[in-house]
Structure 1
């Protein structure tokens, strides 16, 4: 099992999205090339066409809270170890002007960017 952490707020929002989308398959968490730091965090709804491939694979780590699942992309997993997925609500009094998922990095292994979705590994 991977050491990715997910906050209560993020689990709640992910569960809410799954209910509203009529998709109970889960999410996939990965890193892709791009962004100002070299890599972007990605958290996407799992599509039915790839669900069977992912769930039958022994290579995907799975985070689970009640009936909500997050599958960790095995190719990205080494970059995601130690990260935290959070969901922050819009709160103008705190200077938060949009609700969004926020990805906190493992500062021992990577450098982040101010955008909150981009990072680069430390070498």
Structure 2
């Protein structure tokens, strides 16, 4: 993982911690796995699933009774992200405050990252 010694790669707000712990307890899960996939109008989307066991290459972040498992392919894109859980009158859900995101779509479900140095997307652009 791209990390700083002594500092977790992602932070979890108390609201997100409570929600993750509750989901884990209700479903008997080992953690909430977070990843990324191609899709949406901005190019990438967050994925979340309850996991029975951590995968060998998952980055594990534990806080209280909550455990977040970061999929290997998402680790460099999620470094520095704050995971929050918002409850409102019209909607509720996890929110990611990610300093690595360079653009989002209008609906807020899709994100874009700056192409990495030396990548084909960077050379073509």
Other-structure match for 2:92? 99
CA shift for structure 1 position 114: 3.6
Q: Which runs of 4+ in 1 moved over 4 A?
A: none
C-alpha distance in 2, partners of 1:6/1:36? 27
> Gaps (5+ residues) in structure 2?
116-125
Larger strand percent:
2
- Are 1:102 and 1:117, in contact at CA under 8 Å, matched by a contact in 2? no
Partner SS, residue 115 of structure 1? coil
CA shift for structure 1 position 85: 1.3
C-alpha distance in 2, partners of 1:112/1:3? 22
- 2:87 paired residue among 86, 89, 103: 89
Other-structure match for 1:29? 34
Q: How does 1:62-73 map to 2 (within 5 A)?
A: 62-73=60-71
Other-structure match for 1:118? 110
Q: Deviations over 1:62-81 (max 9, x none)?
A: 11012321111111111112
- Considering only aligned residues, what root-mean-square deviation do their CA atoms show, in Å? 1.9
Aligned residues: 109
**Structure 2 length-normalised TM:** 0.75
C-alpha distance in 2, partners of 1:15/1:119? 26
C-alpha distance in 1, partners of 2:109/2:71? 16
